[in-house]
């Protein structure tokens, strides 16, 4: 079993994660994690925080000479902004006398619910951990999962399907060949016309003190069939993947394959018939409406998922709130904030999906060192090829 826990406040000294259960001998370079941290920091519509932070991962344990050693892998990302918050976020000592407490809950944030739950008088204590700053360490962890998957030719892609009402015309199956263009786009959108309109929409929102959300799409190729399981609810990979996507700050919907659309179509237009390919004589399908998962198990087809992100809740024209100490009608607190973080959220979504897939991969292909994992994978894939007649 592979697992991790993370800790760290948005304006604390650092974010940390401890990963346990990686096989020994996995080749890992910090540069291969850092490149995804950089990707998370990009995107049109980001706020001032991203200009301060330059996220880089440090490894504190579990790695020697670029190879995992089987012990817990400890990752750390420093918060550069800590410099400005050392007094306000000090772990020890008394609160400064002039400390300004956050008492105006921001609608759309965890502020009020978290303040009630933990009985805080300063809502900053909620904000600090509920903030999407935490997604930096999730991207680092997901990148480790991704490095493992890449050894077995699994590739994870993402792009932005829409920002507010503006939709791209890019087809899901073209994502891999458009990957460079998507990467170069500030909106992670390979449709030039839509990209221009998205930029205008973000500028319009900025002008109005407003914010925008959108929909992202994840596309994964090279997955072996058999990850996840139908035998127990919490082993179903569809639930695990959509649960992981829904756990990203601001995400309000997730679907696989045809998703919500499948509810409106007859069965004949929703399922993917099996066929015998005449040339190769192997079992295939002409469609992938299921999006790569059936019965909670990967079926060997590309994985297609979409997720919806709501507009950023902190707005420069804040919503009505109540100061929960004085009971006064006020405006919600404002923090330095993004106008639109959908492109960055797509990178986070790649990472959480990669982590869930890597975790299911480890359950299927256990082993304490890479050679053992590879042998298990190769043995199984031989059986799969026989069953599907792809080796004849
Ligand atoms: C990459 C990313 C960046 C975000 N940036 C901001 C931001 O700058 N300001 C903000 O108010 N919310 C931001 N959010 C969203 C909030 O963190 C989120 O809406 C809030 O924590 C409440 O959680 P919920 O929307 O999941 O209920 C961001 C989310 C992501 C994934």
> Could you report the per-residue pLDDT of 144-193, keeping only the tens digit for each?
999 999 999 999 999 999 999 999 999 999 999 999 999 999 999 999 99
10 lines ligand 1 (CB under 6 A): no
Ligand 1 mean position, distance from CA 312 (Å): 6
350 lines ligand 1 (CB under 6 A): no
> Could you report the per-residue pLDDT of 38-95, keeping only the tens digit for each?
999 999 988 776 677 799 999 999 999 999 999 999 999 999 999 999 999 999 999 9
Place 105 in a pLDDT band, splitting at 50, 70 and 90.
very high
Average pLDDT over residues 338-365: 97
Pocket mutation for ligand 1, best pick of 254, 312, 315, 350 (most atoms within 8 Å of C-beta): 312
At 333 the pLDDT is 78
pLDDT above 90 coverage of the chain, percent: 91
Indicate which atom in ligand 1 lies nearest the CA of residue 248. Answer: 31
State the Cα–Cα distance between residues 129 and 85, nearest whole angstrom: 15
At 50 the pLDDT is 67
Q: Is the pLDDT of residue 23 over 60?
A: yes
At 392 the pLDDT is 56
State the Cα–Cα distance between residues 74 and 387, nearest whole angstrom: 40
Find which of 81-95, 223-237, 332-346 is predicted with most confidence, using mean pLDDT: 223-237
Domains of the chain as residue ranges with CATH? 3-387 (3.60.150.10)
Ligand 1 mean position, distance from CA 44 (Å): 15
Place 232 in a pLDDT band, splitting at 50, 70 and 90.
very high
> Rounded mean pLDDT of the chain?
95
135 lines ligand 1 (CB under 6 A): yes
Ligand 1 mean position, distance from CA 309 (Å): 9
> Could you report the per-residue pLDDT of 242-298, keeping only the tens digit for each?
999 999 999 999 999 999 999 999 999 999 999 998 887 789 999 999 999 999 999
Average pLDDT over residues 352-374: 98
Indicate which atom in ligand 1 lies nearest the CA of residue 251. Answer: 26
Indicate which atom in ligand 1 lies nearest the CA of residue 130. Answer: 21
Pocket mutation for ligand 1, best pick of 43, 210, 249 (most atoms within 8 Å of C-beta): 249
At 47 the pLDDT is 79
Indicate which atom in ligand 1 lies nearest the CA of residue 249. Answer: 26
337 lines ligand 1 (CB under 6 A): yes
Ligand 1 mean position, distance from CA 341 (Å): 8
313 lines ligand 1 (CB under 6 A): yes
pLDDT above 70 coverage of the chain, percent: 99
Q: Whose CA is nearest to atom 9 of ligand 1?
A: 337
Q: Whose CA is nearest to atom 24 of ligand 1?
A: 250
3-class SS letters over the chain = CCEEEEECCCCCCEEEEEEECCCECCECCHHHHHHHHHHHHCCCCCCCHHHHCCCCEEEEECEECCEECCCCEEEEEECHHHHHCCCCCCCCCCCCCCCCCCCCCCCCCCHHHHHHHHCCCCCHHHHHHHCHHHHHHHHHHHHHHHHHHHCCCCEEEEEEEEECCEECCCCHHHCHHHHHHHHHCCCCCCCHHHHHHHHHHHHHHHHCCCCCCEEEEEEEECCCCCCCCCCCHHHCHHHHHHHHHHCCCCEEEEEECCHHHHHHCCHHHCCCCEEECCCCCCEEECCCCCCCEECCEECCCCEEEEEEECCCCCCCCCCEEECCCCCCEEECCCCCCCCCCHHHHHHHHHHHHHHHHHHHHHHHCCCCEHHHHHHHHHHHHHHHHHHCCCCC
State the Cα–Cα distance between residues 255 and 242, nearest whole angstrom: 7
At 46 the pLDDT is 87
Q: Is the pLDDT of residue 365 over 70?
A: yes
Range in 4-18, 191-205, 332-346, 353-367 with the lowest mean pLDDT: 332-346
196 contacts: CB under 8 Å, gap ≥ 6? none
């Amino acid at each position: 079993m592979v697992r991790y826990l993370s800790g760290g406040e948005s304006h604390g000294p650092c974010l940390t994660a401890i990963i346990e259960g990686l096989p020994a001998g996995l080749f890992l370079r910090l540069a291969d994690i850092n490149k995804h941290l950089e990707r998370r920091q990009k995107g049109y519509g980001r706020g001032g925080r991203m200009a301060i932070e330059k996220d880089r991962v440090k490894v504190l344990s579990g790695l020697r000479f670029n190879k995992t050693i089987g012990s817990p892998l400890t990752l750390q990302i420093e918060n550069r902004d800590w410099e400005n918050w050392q007094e306000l976020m000090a772990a020890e000592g008394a609160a400064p006398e002039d400390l300004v407490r956050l008492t105006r809950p921001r609608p759309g944030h965890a502020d009020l619910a978290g303040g009630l739950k933990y009985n805080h008088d300063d809502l900053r204590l909620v904000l600090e951990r509920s903030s999407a700053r935490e997604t930096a360490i999730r991207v680092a962890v997901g990148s480790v999962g991704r490095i493992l998957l890449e050894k077995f030719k699994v590739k994870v892609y993402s792009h932005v399907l829409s920002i507010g009402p503006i939709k791209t015309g890019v087809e899901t199956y073209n994502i891999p060949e458009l990957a460079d263009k998507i990467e170069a786009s500030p909106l992670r959108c390979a449709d030039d016309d839509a990209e221009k309109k998205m930029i205008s929409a973000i500028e319009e929102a900025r002008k109005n003190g407003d914010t925008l959300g959108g929909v992202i799409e994840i596309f994964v190729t090279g997955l072996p069939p058999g990850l996840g399981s139908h035998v127990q609810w919490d082993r179903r990979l569809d639930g695990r993947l959509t649960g992981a996507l829904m756990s990203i700050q601001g995400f309000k919907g997730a679907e696989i394959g045809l998703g919500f659309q499948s509810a409106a179509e007859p069965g004949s237009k929703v399922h993917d018939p099996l066929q015998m390919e005449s040339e190769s004589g192997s079992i295939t399908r002409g469609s992938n409406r299921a999006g790569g998962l059936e019965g909670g198990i990967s079926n060997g087809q590309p994985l297609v998922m979409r997720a919806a992100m709501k507009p950023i809740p902190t707005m420069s024209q804040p919503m009505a709130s109540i100061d929960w100490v004085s009971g006064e009608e006020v405006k919600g607190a404002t923090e330095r904030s993004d106008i639109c973080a959908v492109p960055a959220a797509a990178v986070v979504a790649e990472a959480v999906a990669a982590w869930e897939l890597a975790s299911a991969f480890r359950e299927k292909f256990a082993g304490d060192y890479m050679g053992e994992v590879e042998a298990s994978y190769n043995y199984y894939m031989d059986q799969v090829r026989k069953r599907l007649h792809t080796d004849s």
